[in-house]
């Protein structure tokens, strides 16, 4: 099984809508900056037949695409893109699917919105969205009185720049790596830009939330190396148990000390609740205000958002709850390494400055500008992060899992900047490219060796995310009004 491209997602979704015209609708929710369609796949609700809270999430028989465990039928377990009905090689016709079931503002029932592809370098979400839609058609219990809606790829332009259908190593994954700067990420843009400068991908997502008023929004994310964890804008009581069971069944470590959620309330291993405004809960440095992101837009309608992270490569180091003997000393060392590594990338970036302004007649690589913006954004973050790690707010007590998560976070920052810069230098034949290539190769090998990286098959990543999404909805409904509008 491979990670599907945005075009393959659209084709597979069209095939599913054609196969189930009474239950499934595919429509265009917006258009990306480059003019690509942003697709929403909707599965219609069924008449309530019983309490939705009695749902038993997961599938004891194996992955959601168990009929195609090896992905031999193409991305996301579907038919070959060229053989799918309803569209050519470039995807389905945007005019198709304008009418049909499962769309619109949701009427008087509940709605769940699942967002995939918000980060271009995290491609598992689209496969999970398709898998969940198929599962809901096989087992309609979660659809009782509830429509399910899947934003198949929130950033198709970014996804086209990050090309890694089936990476065989961390180095393979970083060869065509791309992650846009924060202001260009659909979910984070509202926390960094004024309303009149929001990108069209963000506007499409916000409009969809306004239309559906979801009781639950789930954002599907991934990490290159580490474990699985869930961030919540409101607690969902009881989610920790099915989440932990799924991770254990599938041999995926639970990230107990996620750097993204340092100091946040944690009702169970790997479950973190974003602190309320004004809380004294500490956290890892972020330039964005999480509460201004699209995650919180659902709160306007008493909805809850869950962010489900799953690793591509697993490491048991992030699942170690033992106390670390010297967290502040470790953070000083990690900050020093991060600063030194970033300096190496910054030096190569300076050598490439002439590439920002090609001379007359020079060939302009269309990928160079977004790649360099992302490089500069990442390098600008690093000094502030290093200060945060060594400042007075650094924790005096922490787990080994937390220090491991910070270690991984620091490694990937410099590595990502270097990998994206390498793409630009390599494309233009820059003399600095071979040296930077050796640096990226060495960092990938060190990262994998330090953390004992173990590949998680795509079908397993999809299964864990799918189980967690269904469990979140079931527990949210079972908890009743205390967790929002249900």
Helices and strands per DSSP (H, E), number in the chain: 11, 11
**Are the C-beta atoms of 142 and 64 separated by less than 8 Å?**
no
For 379, the token pair is 């390098």
Q: Closest Cα partner for 24 from 152, 157, 156, 159?
A: 152
Report the distance separating Cα 99 and Cα 25, nearest Å: 7
Cα(297)–Cα(290) distance, integer angstroms? 11
Q: Full-prediction pTM beyond 0.75?
A: yes
How many Cα neighbours within 13 Å face the side chain of 329? 4
Per-block mean pLDDT, blocks of 10 residues, the chain (486 long): 95 98 98 97 84 34 37 38 35 44 56 98 98 98 97 98 92 97 95 94 98 98 98 97 98 93 91 77 56 92 97 97 96 98 96 61 75 97 94 92 96 98 94 96 98 98 98 95 66
On whether the CB atoms of residues 349 and 376 are closer than 8 A, the answer is: yes
Query: In the prediction, which pLDDT does 260 show?
Result: 85
- Under DSSP, the state recorded for 296 is G
The pLDDT, as a whole number, for residue 354 is 61
Residue 290, pLDDT score: 76
With vertex at residue 259, the alpha carbon angle to CA 254 and CA 264, rounded to the nearest 5 degrees, is: 85
Tell me the two tokens of residue 27: 């429509």
- The whole-number pLDDT of residue 107 equals 46
Helix runs in 38-148, H state only = 124-138
Strands (E), 315-417: none
């Amino acid at each position: 099984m491979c990670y599907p491209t945005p075009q393959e997602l659209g084709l597979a979704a069209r095939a599913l809508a054609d196969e189930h015209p009474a239950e499934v609708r595919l429509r265009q929710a917006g258009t990306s900056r480059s003019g690509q369609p942003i697709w929403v796949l909707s599965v219609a609700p069924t008449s309530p037949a019983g309490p939705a809270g009695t749902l038993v999430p997961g599938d004891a028989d194996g992955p959601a695409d168990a009929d195609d465990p090896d992905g031999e039928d193409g991305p996301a377990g579907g038919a070959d893109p060229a053989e799918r009905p309803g569209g050519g090689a470039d995807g389905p016709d945007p005019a198709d699917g304008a009418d049909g079931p499962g769309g619109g503002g949701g009427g008087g029932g509940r709605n769940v919105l699942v967002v995939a592809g918000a980060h271009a370098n995290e491609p598992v979400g689209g496969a999970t969205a398709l898998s969940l839609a198929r599962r809901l058609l096989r087992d309609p219990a979660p659809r009782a009185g509830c429509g399910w809606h899947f934003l198949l790829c929130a950033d198709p332009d970014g996804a086209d720049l990050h090309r890694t259908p089936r990476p065989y190593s961390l180095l393979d994954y970083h060869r065509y790596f791309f992650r846009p700067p924060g202001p260009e990420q659909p979910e984070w843009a509202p926390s960094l830009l004024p309303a009149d400068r929001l990108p069209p991908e963000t506007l499409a997502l916000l409009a969809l939330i306004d239309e559906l008023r979801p009781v639950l929004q789930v954002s599907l994310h991934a990490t290159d190396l580490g474990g699985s964890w869930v961030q919540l804008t409101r607690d969902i009581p009881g989610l920790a148990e099915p989440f932990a069971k799924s991770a254990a069944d599938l041999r995926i470590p639970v990230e107990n000390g996620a750097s993204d959620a340092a100091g946040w309330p944690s009702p169970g291993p790997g479950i973190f609740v974003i602190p309320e405004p004004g809380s004294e809960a500490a956290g890892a440095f972020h330039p964005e205000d999480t509460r201004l992101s699209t995650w919180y837009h659902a709160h306007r309608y008493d909805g809850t958002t869950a962010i489900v992270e799953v690793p591509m490569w697993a490491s048991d180091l992030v699942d170690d709850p033992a106390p670390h003997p010297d967290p502040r000393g470790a953070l000083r060392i990690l900050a020093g390494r991060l600063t030194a590594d970033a300096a190496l990338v910054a030096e190569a970036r300076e050598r490439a400055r002439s590439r920002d302004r090609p001379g007359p007649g020079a060939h302009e690589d269309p990928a160079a500008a977004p790649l360099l913006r992302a490089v500069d954004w990442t390098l600008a973050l690093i000094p502030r992060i290093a200060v945060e790690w060594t400042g007075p707010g650094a924790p005096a007590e922490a787990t080994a899992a937390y220090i491991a998560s910070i270690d991984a976070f620091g490694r990937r920052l410099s590595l990502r900047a270097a990998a994206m810069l390498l793409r630009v230098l390599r494309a233009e034949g820059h003399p600095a490219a071979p040296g930077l290539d050796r640096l990226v190769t060495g960092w990938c090998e060190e990262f994998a060796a330090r953390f004992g990286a173990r590949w998680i098959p795509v079908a397993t990543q999809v299964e864990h995310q799918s189980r967690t999404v269904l469990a979140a909805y079931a527990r949210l409904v079972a908890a009743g009004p205390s967790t929002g509008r249900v």
